[in-house]
Amino acid sequence: MVIKRSGARQAFDRGKLVDGLRAATKNRPVTEAQLEVLAREVEDELREDGSEPTSEQVGLAVLERLRIVDEVAYLRFVSVYKGFEGVDDFRREVGLLTKTTAPKRHEG
């Protein structure tokens, strides 16, 4: 079960998760096998926790993995997940993405 933002409880639907991932990765170099692995990892993580996860926890678990798989798909997914309203939202997220994925420079 997943606790939605409204407080309603809904059965976890792995197929729905994969459909959302397919939409985010459309025309991207991501295979169906990668989507299945990502969905299984999210489901396993949520099950290991033992408690009923919130939809927010599900979304964060997806984002954490999708960022590694494909950054464009990550931005697509996060734009829906966070309800982006304009280009400034994308700029902010790209800045965060760049900051967390840029290699560290060592002076010396």
Query: What pLDDT score does 105 carry?
Result: 52
Query: What pLDDT score does 24 carry?
Result: 92
Query: What pLDDT score does 46 carry?
Result: 86
Query: What pLDDT score does 28 carry?
Result: 95
Query: What pLDDT score does 32 carry?
Result: 93
Q: How far is CA 66 from CA 1, 36, 37, 73, 108, in A?
A: 22, 12, 11, 7, 34
Rounded (5°) CA angle 77-81-86: 85
**What does the pLDDT look like over 32-88, one tens digit per residue?**
999 999 999 999 988 887 788 888 888 889 988 998 999 999 889 888 888 888 898
